[in-house]
Amino acid sequence: MASLHDEESRQRRFIEKLPKVELHAHLNGSISQQTIQRLIVLRRQRDPSWNSSCENATLESRSKTLADCFAVFSLLHDLVDNEEAASIVTNDVIREFAQDDNVKYIELRTTPRAMPATGMTKESYVRAVLSAMRKSEEDITVRLLLAIDRRTSIEDAADTLEMADRLRKETNGLVIGLDLSGDPTKPAEKFIPILKEAKKRGLKLALHIAEVNNMTDESRALLSVPPDRIGHGVFLHPDHGGNAQLLRLTHGPKIPIEICLTSNVTSGTVKVIQDHCFSQWRLIGHPCILCTDDKGVFSTSLNEEYILAAKEFHLSFEELWDLSLQSIDSIFESKEFKTELKAKFLSAKERCFS
Ligand code: 6MZ
């Protein structure tokens, strides 16, 4: 009889071979330790007296509050303060998702950010990211969402919409839409007219909704835009701090939910993984996509997220396969693209199960 250890090894090997899509990855939250070390060396060449707390604070402690996470983002932003760094980060994050997690399609998201001290503008930052995306030689398709930070002003958010609209046309669809993220306790209803305008112009919307509890009114308003995908959605289901109306607004139009298990447990929005609403949504056949959120900050990977889901929610190999394949339905691409990507996944199925 196979031991538990043998079973776990078999499951890990299966998941490693599984082709995947990643639809919720914040660029700067996805930076690996190796890349951080590389950026620190580069920064010290430029400024020998520069002292970073990244080495100590960023990735050491595993258990964080949401506030801790946001402190880490500030440290990372301090490190990625010029176009070269943005390009290195983009290149490394894409390579790691492609090579380590067998991701075949990824939608990265990042907040346009200026750094007056180095001359980096919001646009030169985004262009550096786009240029690194284009240069990637990995076997992976990469798209970009520009993020609106909840802490920002309406004017800034409007600028981001204009930039996304312009760059989508200019890059022939490398930029595909907008994300709404940032401190989830900060109100976001003021951005609704901008989000509606974005939809009107054909941009896709992936909005962080109900990442924290007690945001019922805001969640209802954001769901009514409506978004094309929901980030987190931890407190929408009636059994998890939501209510029947939020369930209807989410499940009626089947708005896919980007599930970030490790992120939610580590940042404390979900106490224990078994309590995660993922199981409730699965039970009613709601489209869910496993995602990493910030693989660097949370020391995870997409493989680890699948392993965690398999273990905690008792998913069979077939169920894991279906979960990955069905994620393709939720990508921001054309029908034809989805059909081709599914064919690519299906051609890898036999090898996966062997
Ligand atoms: C909300 C998050 C987030 O944009 O500089 N971000 N926003 N909730 C989360 N859950 C933990 N994780 C990341 O990547 C970092 C930025 O992404 C958002 C925050 O605004 C953070 O500053 P970029 O590439």
| Distance of alpha carbon 264 from alpha carbon 234, whole angstroms | 8
What is the DSSP code (8-state) at residue 59? S
CA–CA distance, 97 with 26 (Å, rounded to integer): 12
Dihedral sign for Cα 92, 339, 290, 349, please: negative
pLDDT, position 5:
83
Tokens of 287: 């489209």
Among 27, 35, 70, 73, residue to substitute to test ligand 1 (most atoms within 8 Å of Cβ)? 73
Closest-CA residue, ligand 1 atom 18, reads: 182
- Predicted local confidence at residue 59, as pLDDT: 46
CATH number corresponding to 22-345: 3.20.20.140
Residue 69 Cβ < 6 Å to ligand 1: yes
Mind telling me the catalytic residues? Answer: 211
Write down the pLDDT at residue 16.
98
110 lines ligand 1 (CB under 6 A): yes
**Domain-wise residue ranges, the chain:** 22-345
Output the tens digit of pLDDT for each of the chain's 354 residues: 678 788 899 999 999 999 999 999 999 999 999 999 999 999 999 888 887 766 554 445 456 788 888 889 999 999 999 999 999 999 999 999 999 999 999 999 999 999 999 999 999 999 999 999 999 999 999 999 999 999 999 999 999 999 999 999 999 999 999 999 999 999 999 999 999 999 999 999 999 999 999 999 999 999 999 999 999 999 999 999 999 999 999 999 999 999 999 999 999 999 999 999 999 999 999 999 999 999 999 999 999 999 999 999 999 999 999 999 999 999 999 999 999 999 999 999 999 999
Report the pLDDT value the prediction gives residue 55, as an integer from 0 to 100.
59
Mutate to test the pocket of ligand 1, among 63, 181, 266 (most ligand atoms within 8 A of CB): 181
What Å distances lie between residue 238 and 68, 228, 233, 250, CA to CA?
28, 21, 12, 11
Residue 63: per-residue pLDDT: 63
208 Cβ below 6 A of ligand 1: yes
Amino acid sitting at position 115: M
DSSP-based three-state secondary structure for 28? helix
pTM for this model (two decimals) = 0.97
